[in-house]
Amino acid sequence: MIESKKNTWLACPPDSDFSIYNIPFGVYKKNNISAVCTRLGDYIIDVKKLAELGYLQSIKLLPIENEVFKQSSLNRFFALGKAKVSEVRNRIIELLTDTNNELLFNDLHRQQTILNIEDVEILKPVEPSDYTDFYSSIEHASNVGKMFRDKDNPLLPNWRHIPVGYHGRASSIVGSGVEIHRPKGQILDSQTNLPIYSPSKKMDFELEMAFITCGETELGCPVSIENAHEHIIGMVLFDDLSARDIQQWEYVPLGPFLGKNFGSVISNWVVLTDALEPFRVNGPKQEPKPLPYLQLEGKNNYDINLEVYIKTEDGVESLVCLSNTKYLYWNIYQQLAHQTVNGCNLKNCGIYASGTISGSEENSFGSMLELSWNATREVKLKNSVRYYIEDRDEIIMKAYAINGDVRVGFGVCKVKIIPAK
């Protein structure tokens, strides 16, 4: 459903990710003070200050609940629950539309609440309590299976029956704009066929989206697929950095470990699922039909365009991947229902990543592993070639959705790889 036309009195470029239809949440810092904020165009709006000046009174927050805006993460805000967070977003949209003059006609309050994005530091939006990484793209799973197992039967027998996933390391999830050292670990030497301790020679990105949970559930209480939406508050871009050679040596028999836990990167704005409603689409047909606890009717995927660029040390950016979240075989509601079906409890601000999102065309493959077919093909950049990520390369991911006049985006998720310590 396309939303009715909205206009805002605050300047916002027509191609901005942060339109009046978005109103995501993040955290800014200025003069060593942090606060919850939202963004419209190139401006941030201080939600803490809106609350202090009385603009959120209609939401009837308790005095202690107003404290959630004076934090360096969104965790306490999101713990209020999806309904309350949605009320805050809707009130901010009301204040910023051109039919409302409450804030528009108060010069002092505008100066106190609206800041230029260039004048503040945007922080990592949440402190993750948990982290699960799924493996939900059939194209990605098939590509990996063709490379390393059986090109005629690339999927393992369970793949079409369950959203495969593993529990990752929440402590090493960082915000966009950081530098991460090339990791060291054991890799298999091709000459001796013995392990050596070495910096990874196969550094990779993984193009993913992740959803964030709100509130908590009790141990032993599954979340049904019909109710999964109540626990998913929003989404971020997610770059699951991977050291493929370390991963390949260690992953049998228990799966990813040091090849994955040295750093994953999230974008700095949480786009609420409310803002993504106009972009719901049908997902791929699931054959065979999933078991009943994973069955959900309707449009449960999202049509979000995804882009990956590699920026080399000389500052030249090259587009290497165009993909879309609509390709995901297992949707976010199935992922959450499967995560909890055994009674696993949810914690507030858990992060649940999709796994690499690849399409069927080569330019839609969401990792260097696939784009270079494990270093057997050149990935052409504007001024050079790559097989994997080299030192001082910057990986830049973007995500945005468009439906008529409605544009909602996630900004950027970027990280620079620097030499191993």
Q: Are 244 and 262 in contact (CB under 8 A)?
A: no
pLDDT digits (tens, 9 = 90+) for 16-61: 999 999 999 999 999 999 999 999 999 999 999 999 999 999 998 8
pTM, to two decimals: 0.97
DSSP secondary structure code for residue 62 in this structure = -
pLDDT average, residue stretch 235-264: 96
| Amino acid type, 95 | L
Establish how many alpha carbons lie within 13 A of residue 72's alpha carbon, considering only the half-sphere containing its beta carbon: 8
- Name the amino acid, one letter, at 134: F
Using one digit for the tens of pLDDT, what is the confidence trace for 75-99? 999 999 999 999 999 999 999 999 9
**Mean pLDDT on 159-168:** 97
Q: Pull the structure tokens for residue 66.
A: 């107003």
Closest by CA position to 110, among listed 99, 95, 120:
95
Nearest alpha carbon to residue 90 among 275, 268, 215, 348: 275
140: annotated active-site residue = yes
Domain positions in the chain: 26-122, 131-418
- pLDDT of 1 > 70? The answer is no
| Fold annotation for 26-122 | SH3 type barrels. (2.30.30)
- Of the candidates 236, 304, 230, 272, the residue with the CA atom closest to the CA atom of residue 92: 272
pLDDT attached to residue 4:
72
Catalytic: which of 140, 181, 231, 338? Answer: 140
How many C-beta neighbours within 10 Å does residue 21 have?
A: 21
Write the pLDDT tens digit of every residue in 384-417. 999 999 999 999 999 999 999 999 999 999 999 9
What is the rounded distance in angstroms from the CA atom of residue 216 to the CA atom of residue 210?
A: 18
For residues 178-191, average pLDDT: 97
Q: What pLDDT is recorded for position 62? A: 85
Q: Which fold has domain 131-418?
A: Fumarylacetoacetate hydrolase; domain 2 (3.90.850)
User: What pLDDT is attached to residue 5?
Assistant: 84
Ranges of H-type helices in 131-177: 138-148
Residue 337: both structure tokens together: 């229902």
Tens of pLDDT, residue by residue over 313-365, are 999 999 999 999 999 999 999 999 999 999 999 999 999 999 999 999 999 99
Looking at residue 3, what is its pLDDT? 63
What was the pLDDT predicted at 111? Answer: 97
Q: In the prediction, which pLDDT does 26 show?
A: 98
Q: DSSP character for 206?
A: B
Dihedrals phi, psi of 343, to nearest 5 degrees:
100, 5
